[in-house]
Amino acid sequence: MKRIAISTSKGGVGKTSTAINLGAGLAQKGKKVLIIDCDPQGNVGGHFNIASEHTLSELLIDGHKDVIIEVRKNLDIITSGRKRLYDAQRELTKDDFGIFKFKERISFIQGFDYDYIFCDFSPTDTLINRAALIFCDNLLIPVSPGIDAIMGAERYIEVANDIAARGNRPVDIFGILINLYETKTIISREIDNVAREKWKTKVFQTRIRKNVSIGEARIQNKTIFEYAPRSNGAKDFMALTAEVLNAN
């Protein structure tokens, strides 16, 4: 079971679309996948048009375990509870060891035999994110072309390692993903080159090209493979899926 945090300190880089479409690609290949929404915006549940009363918030507050929702074959999610996640965060702060409660409460999923668990983080540094980092053992960082993309990723890796150290182990970089890539723009090519020079083989060979179909799929509550299977978005996420599988 790989437990992967999808996060960086910058918003708008495609964290949720990465979690959902990579998760869907792996599920299509027969892998059992769980996506946990750690963001009060609730974009994972929103993507599938699901608003459950039983969420990560209830799990963290009172240990309620009936929180897993099957959205596709081999693909399950746990929704965040949106604003209720703030209540869960306040609950964690009442305890000196509250940061470890995420790992403790989520441990029941060990019996579900998931191959991959993706935690979709909010871009802000929250206690929920910090607690989830102690649960995760890998970090996937989407990087979009922008002046602060590399610095943002560097800062987040430092923060992640500091937090993971509280769990007495480092967090490994599962991969750096170049997202929203545009072949014809100088900034895209420069960010891609700098990232590969800095992190070398940790950068996925696959680049997720900027593709309107990915956003349209979200509006239709579908994965990219369901909405536009012949689009560049579907091709790129299937290539990323193959790369992830070949690396294991």
Domain boundaries, the chain: 2-246
* Cβ pair 33, 114 in contact under 8 A: yes
Q: What is the pLDDT of residue 168?
A: 65
- The fold of the 2-246 domain, in CATH, is Rossmann fold (3.40.50)
Contact predicate 19/147, CB 8 Å: no
d(CA 168, CA 122) in angstroms, rounded, equals: 24
> Which pLDDT value is given to residue 123?
84
> Which pTM value belongs to this model?
0.94
- pLDDT means per 10 residues, the chain with 248 residues, are 88 89 98 96 94 90 92 97 89 81 92 95 88 91 86 86 75 92 92 94 96 96 97 98 91
Task: Give the C-alpha separation, 214 to 71, whole Å.
Answer: 18
pLDDT of 164 reads 75
Distance CA 164, CA 100 (A): 11
Per-residue confidence (pLDDT) for residue 165, from 0 to 100: 76
